[in-house]
A and B are shown apart, each in its own frame.
Chain A
Amino acid sequence: GQNIDQPTEMTATEGAIVQINCTYQTSGFNGLFWYQQHAGEAPTFLSYNVLDGLEEKGRFSSFLSRSKGYSYLLLKELQMKDSASYLCAAMDSNYQLIWGAGTKLIIKP
């Protein structure tokens, strides 16, 4: 079956760096997405990887290893506003998104 695994919750300190891991199993692969969802709000797009390697976008970076079925989202210089859930989603060969349950990130001062 198709599956996404990511940690349920993580805690980090303001100003620090945190890495949120995601492993996926899909029928075929057309890319890996990360979305951010603040409590009570809609998910918003953060990043997309389809080739192996690191994509950097300001304080956020996302990495993909297709051979390992693995991605991570790296958040640097954490700010209190980064407290949110981070959703990993993989696209299968039918262009359907398979979603993880999300990782709730708690930032402490």
Chain B
Amino acid sequence: DTAVSQTPKYLVTQMGNDKSIKCEQNLGHDTMYWYKQDSKKFLKIMFSYNNKELIINETVPNRFSPKSPDKAHLNLHINSLELGDSAVYFCASSLTLYDSFNVLTFGAGSRLTVL
């Protein structure tokens, strides 16, 4: 039973296309996140949702739109893909947001390649 599952694992697409990545967690956590990990391996927070409510929206282009239909799901839609969007996108969840001992459980990652 995968705790945080995201699909697809690999995405290869052309510039200008629109794509979506789905994420689901079965841990009963209240908080979910999208992270981007680029070729230099920096993990950068993009969005966090707490009980379906957007909490953090870092300086991400508005081509990226997260959607949380319920607290177990957080999807990421990307419009008009650009070369610089190529990266690994990780979904993660945690029990809650406002707690110092806030351990993240990550999904396996979705590797997006924009040609």
Measured between beta carbons, the chain B residues less than 8 angstroms from A40 are: 109
Across-interface contacts of B106 in A (CB, < 8 A): 42-44
Instruction: Find the residue from B43, B104, B105 having the highest chain A CB count within 10 A.
Output: B43
B114 within 8 Å of A (CB atoms): no
What is the size, in residues, of chain A's interface with B at 8 Å between Cβ atoms?
22
Contact A99–B43 (Cβ < 8 Å): yes
From residue 69 to 109 of chain A, which have CB atoms closer than 8 A to chain B? 85, 87, 89, 91, 95-97, 99, 101-102
Say whether B99 contacts A95, CB under 8 Å.
yes
B interface residues, tally (CB under 8 Å) = 21
Complex contact A95–B90 (CB within 8 A): no
Complexed CA–CA distance, A97 and B41 (Å): 15
Number of A-B contacts (CB under 8 A): 47
Collect the chain B residues with CB atoms within 8 Å of residue A35's CB: 104
Chain A positions within 8 Å of B45 at CB level = 96-97
Interface 1/0 per residue, B67-104 and A, CB below 8 Å: 00000000000000000000000100000011111111
Whether B100 pairs with A102 at a CB distance below 8 angstroms is: no
Q: Are A45 and B109 in contact (CB under 8 A)?
A: no
CB-defined contacts of B104 to chain A, threshold 8 Å: 35, 43, 45, 97
Least CB distance, B86 to chain A, in whole angstroms:
16
Interface residues of A in 22-55 (CB under 8 A from B): 30-31, 33, 35, 40-45, 48, 50
CB contact between A48 and one of B41, B43, B101, B107 (< 8 Å): that residue: B101
Minimum C-beta distance from B92 to chain A (A): 8
Known A41-B108, A43-B106, A44-B106: A30·B100 in contact at CB below 8 Å: yes
Are the CB atoms of A42 and B107 closer together than 8 Å? yes
Apart from A42-B108, A95-B100, 9 more pairs, CB < 8 Å: A30-B100, A31-B100, A41-B109, A44-B106, A45-B104, A45-B105, A95-B98, A95-B102, A101-B41
User: A-B pairs with the 8 shortest C-beta distances?
Assistant: A42-B106, A30-B100, A99-B43, A31-B100, A45-B103, A102-B41, A101-B42, A43-B106
